[in-house]
Amino acid sequence: MKSMEKIVSLCKRRGFLFQSSEIYGGIQGFWDYGPLGVELKRNVKEAWWQDMIAGHNELVAPNDAPGTFEMVGLDCTIIMHPQVWKCSGHFDLFHDHMVDCRESKKRYRFDQIRGRWVEYQDKKIFVATMAEQEQEFDEVRRRGMKYFKLRSKDAEKLSVEDLSITIDKLDDTTQVLAPDAKTLDTLTEPREYNLMFKTTVGALGGEDDYTFLRPETAQGIFVNFKNVLDSSRVSLPFGIGQIGKSFRNEITPRNFTFRSREFEQMEIEFFCPPDQSHAWYGYWRDRRLAWYKSLGLSDESLIMREHHKDELAHYSVGTADIEYAFPFLPEGEYGELEGIAHRGDFDLRSHMEGKLDPKTEPMTVELGENGKPKYRGSGKDLSYRDEATNEKYVPHVIEPSAGADRGVLAFLCEAYTEDEAPDENGNMQTRVVMKLHPRLAPIKAAIFPLVKKDGMPEVAQAIYGTLKKQFNVFYDEKGAVGRRYRRQDEAGTPFCITVDTQTMTDQTVTIRDRDTLEQSRVKIDDLTEVLTRRINV
């Protein structure tokens, strides 16, 4: 199993990711992308945009699609009218269940506190921890020994169960030793905690000026549905894509960038006739899973998990999660990478009529104590009229919602590899290599002169200048060429181009493949074409 500790270390050492505000001790749940990380994240987003939006051919039905469809894009604001979040359900329903520790005064998300049962002399307690998975067993044992006042020589008298579970799976918490507590039964009953960041618009900052940083990008698409329909001449079925920042006030952000307070989403809202929605739901599920595999995530690391009826959001007709076996999770467990939701007509109807009541079936507008809509909708007609049949209806929506940051993290985890490669003297040495797909790799190629003489640097610099116009490439002439190779392997660079003695006579260079270590000779004039072909495999 891959070590999350090594991956995190490499990310900082090589400039993929840094803790935000690190010189001031950092701020939990916020991360900065370094020189390599920003390129990797841009490449993930650009691959998504090209494959889902810009490169889509609306004249031809893709394989396994129910038919042809159109795709367009949007870029909506982070701050929106506060009524958007009331009608969408976020104001009332967007929450996690939290527990407080009466002893330590700390707050935790109920379903994130893990632990194990510990037993000593017929006394059994549940030791909870927020430690990473790799340190969990040792941390539980250490705290169990401390609770029972055992010395190191008595460690074998303490029994720690192998099974790790979250405390929301327990029947009661009276025997739980909370993560930062010294006594049992210090956790409160779980209660709801709204995850939206509140802010104010305008100078006065009164009650009427409150609004929120968006917790998702989807609502900006829904409130612009009519604008897109009227301005773009699109017809159903069609999708609207958006990439943008979202904010959630997570109480216990953890597991590196997996759960952050500021993150970026890549979302599609796909509008279709109600009677076609189940077919389109199946299409988008399969297509999104195939996309991750096409960019290097392995079959063994990915699963598609359909939500049980009890898990479904109030608006959802059906939801499936694409999940990845992140190294920080116990073996056999998976974390959400992307959700594909069949949202029905909930969102468009809510913004037309007012917030719908999830307790009603079919859903009707939720009423307040005065018998009027609790949160009034826009009153705008967001239905669609089919010009061919003259039928009018509220479209159903399929939503593939991906996290750009979680995608980057998954690609980093998948890419991290340790193997052996020869050094400059031909001796086999352990190397760390990031086997990123060439489309995603931050640096596409590195250009080396074999030595800093005999005109080789000048030729290498000329090649660098030519390739730099189309690719993000790197020039390096410092150190033995074997060390330069290994530096690029750690950065995930798929190809290294070396100018050597033969170059000076026949205008060819060697291209070394990062993964196979094979080297082949290519004419300098053919480099752009060769790189383009190899990157877009």
Whether residue 517 is predicted with pLDDT greater than 60 in this model: the reply is: yes
**Which pLDDT belongs to residue 233?**
86
Closest to 193 measured CA to CA, from 66, 95, 331, 329? 95
How many angstroms separate the CA atoms of 405 and 409, rounded?
A: 6
405 is in an annotated binding site: yes
333 is in an annotated binding site: no
The two structure tokens encoding residue 324 = 């990845």
Would you state the pLDDT for residue 21?
Answer: 93
* pLDDT tens-digit series, residues 385-439: 988 888 999 999 999 999 999 999 999 999 999 987 776 677 777 889 999 999 9
For CA atoms 207, 109, 267, 356, give the dihedral sign: negative
Average pLDDT over residues 499-521: 94
Structure tokens, 190: 């779980």
Contacts of 316 (CB under 8 A, 6+ apart): 307, 341, 342, 343, 344
Q: Find out whether 512 is annotated in a ligand binding site.
A: no
Burial class (CB in 10 A: 0-12, 13-18, 19+), 197: middle
Q: Is 400 annotated as a binding residue?
A: yes
406 annotated binding-site participant: yes
pLDDT attached to residue 436: 97
The answer to whether the annotation marks 366 as part of a ligand binding site is no
pLDDT at 314 over 70: no
Question: How confident is the model over 484-496, as a mean pLDDT?
Answer: 95
Q: What is the pLDDT of residues 38-55, one digit of tens each?
A: 999 999 999 999 999 999
Give strand pairing partners of 192: 97
152 annotated among ligand-binding-site residues: no
Q: Is 262 annotated among the ligand-binding residues?
A: yes
- Residue 266 is labelled as binding a ligand: yes
- 264 is known to lie in a ligand binding site: yes
247 is in an annotated binding site: no
Instruction: Give me the chain's average pLDDT, please.
Output: 90
Q: Does the pLDDT value for residue 256 go beyond 80?
A: yes
Tell me the fold of 4-85+197-411. BirA Bifunctional Protein; domain 2 (3.30.930)
Question: If 0-12 CB within 10 Å is exposed, 13-18 middle and 19+ buried, where does residue 409 land?
Answer: buried
Q: Does 337 carry a binding-site annotation? A: yes
261 labelled binding-site residue: yes
CA 487 remoteness from chain centre:
27
Q: Is 536 annotated as a binding residue?
A: no
Mean pLDDT of all residues in 221-247: 95
In the chain, domain spans? 4-85+197-411, 97-193, 424-536
- Annotated ligand binding at 194? The verdict is no
- pLDDT tens profile 334-360: 999 999 999 999 999 999 998 888 788
Q: Binding site annotation covers 249?
A: yes
DSSP string, 419-464: EEEE-TTS-EEEEEEE---TTT-S-SEEEEESSS-TTHHHHHHHHH
pTM given for the model: 0.83
pLDDT at residue 315 is higher than 60: no
- Annotated ligand binding at 402? The verdict is yes
Q: Which CATH number fits domain 424-536: 3.40.50.800, 2.60.40.420, 3.40.50.20, 1.10.10.10?
A: 3.40.50.800
Query: Is 109 known to sit in a ligand binding site?
Result: yes
- In this prediction, residue 108 carries a pLDDT of 86
Residue 202 counted as an annotated binding residue: no
Percent of the chain at pLDDT exceeding 90: 64
